[in-house]
A and B are shown apart, each in its own frame.
Chain A
């Protein structure tokens, strides 16, 4: 299996622009997670899905952030409008169902908002 795939790997944009991050989970995995990592705040869970349904979005910082999972093999995280404080590495992860299961992380998207 190719693992969790994220695109783009790097994104540089200007403040106010829309940014869309993409994730393809491992085939057959029921859970998908979006994380954000910064030096100041560490690793934060933004939102996660079970069988394409959002379960917990309490970590989404504000209305500028939205996430969708239209099918089992694709998810997006959108920031509109973007701000410099959104600069971070965004990770997508997926896992099989069950509380003992390992989460598999993608390589991340490094976002810089100027």
Chain B
């Protein structure tokens, strides 16, 4: 079945450091891929998405490229800020899944940015 695997956290960085959070997926069809972010005490919110191979999603300085050949959707940011401290979830939605409309989430990666 479909699945998403993220790198284990927590990830601790200093302000202005480069961020990469790895995400790989397994899907039977042609999934759409998402990154969601959860700030402390809040619900998840969409950070960016990509709907087909080689698409790049971007938002708030974050980027991720849909790599079909490596089944990956790694999240990157060139210079993190303290305000980026949150939990990041990679997710997929598969149009050929029997449960269309459902998101498959990874386990989440906690990012802590220190000043």
Residue numbers of A with Cβ under 8 A of B are: 4, 30-31, 33, 42-43, 45, 48, 50, 55-56, 91, 93, 95, 97-108
Question: Are A43 and B100 also in contact (CB < 8 A) when A100-B32, A106-B43 are?
Answer: no
Majority SS of interface residues in chain B? loop
Question: Are A102 and B43 also in contact (CB < 8 A) when A42-B108, A45-B102, A97-B101 are?
Answer: no
| Closest Cβ–Cβ distance, residue B83 to chain A (whole Å) | 19
Q: Which residues of B contact A101 (CB under 8 A)?
A: 93, 101
Closest 6 A-B residue pairs measured CB to CB?
Answer: A105-B43, A99-B95, A99-B93, A100-B32, A105-B44, A102-B46
| Closest Cβ–Cβ distance, residue B25 to chain A (whole Å) | 14
Give residues of chain B (90-108) contacting chain A, Cβ–Cβ below 8 Å.
93-95, 97, 99-103, 105, 107-108
Q: Mark B75-115, 1 if CB is under 8 A from A, else 0.
A: 00000000000000100011101011111010110000000
Q: Could you tell me if A56 and B99 are in contact, using CB atoms closer than 8 angstroms?
A: yes
Q: Which of A48, A91, A104, A108 contacts B101 (CB 8 A)?
A: A48
